[in-house]
């Protein structure tokens, strides 16, 4: 039982990771690909935050009566990674806007079909 409930967060992480990865690979719509990419990245954020949790620890603020603190570093690292994720998404969306202008579609198959003709 410990493997199921004790590692609950990790199961969620792996499920989300594979869901996101599958969406990126299987979907032909560019927006859906970006959404998949986001889910994939978010699962990693969750992984880092889970790593930082110390059992029985409180929030990492020094105060009397508490000796065990949760590790704050992974959360701080993941703040940076979230910013990177937002930047990636915005660059991707900007590219999609320009792809839409150039090809009048955001379906990968149709873009490829247009390239074959020209």
Partner 1 sequence: MIKQNLLALQIVIPLIAAPLCILLRRRALVWGFAVLVCWLTFGISVVLLRQVLETGLVSYEMGGWAAPWGIEYRADPLSAFVLLFVSGIGAIVLSSAGLKDTALDEIPVSRQYLFFTLYLLCLTGLLGITITGDLFNVFVFLEISALSSYGLIGLGGRRQALPAAFQYLVMGTIGATFILIGIGLMYMMTGTLNMADMAERLVMADGGRTALVAFGFLTVGIGIKMALFPLHIWLPNAYAYAPSLVTAFLAATATKVSVYILLRFVFSVFGVTFAFETLGLGGVLMFLSLLGIFVASTVAIFQTNIKRMLAYSSVAQIGYMVLGISFASTTGLVAGIVHLFNHALIKGGLFMAMGCVMLRLKSVDIEDMAGIGRKMPFTMAAWAVGGLGLIGIPATAGFISKWYLIRAALEQNWWIVAVMVLISSLLAVIYVWRVIETAFFKEPSARAREAREAPLSMLLPTWVLVGATLFFGVMTSTSAGVAGRAAEVLLRVIP
If one asks whether residue 31 binds partner 1 (CB under 8 A), the answer comes out as no
If binding is defined by CB under 8 A, does position 67 make contact with partner 1?
no
- Specify the stretch interacting with partner 1 by CB under 8 A; choose among 1-9, 36-44, 57-65: 36-44
Distance from the first to the final alpha carbon of the chain: 59
Rounded Cα gap, residues 74 and 87, in angstroms? 20
- Name the phi and psi angles at 71, rounded to 5: -70, 115
1 vs 90, beta carbon nearer partner 1? 90
Considering only residues 74 to 113 of the shown chain, the ones binding partner 1 according to CB under 8 A are 74, 77, 80-81, 84, 87-88, 91-92, 95-96, 98-99, 102-103, 108, 111
């Amino acid at each position: 039982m410990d493997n199921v409930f004790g590692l609950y967060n990790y199961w969620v992480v792996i499920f989300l990771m594979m869901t996101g990865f599958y969406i990126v690979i299987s979907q032909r719509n560019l927006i859906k690909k970006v959404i998949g990419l986001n889910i994939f990245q978010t699962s990693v954020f969750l992984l880092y935050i889970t790593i930082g949790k110390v059992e029985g620890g409180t929030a990492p603020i020094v105060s009397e009566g508490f000796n065990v603190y949760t590790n704050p570093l992974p959360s701080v690292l993941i703040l940076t990674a979230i910013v990177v994720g937002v930047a990636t998404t915005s660059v991707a969306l900007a590219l999609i806007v320009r792809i839409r202008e150039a090809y009048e579609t955001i379906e990968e198959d149709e873009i490829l079909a247009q390239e074959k003709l020209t």
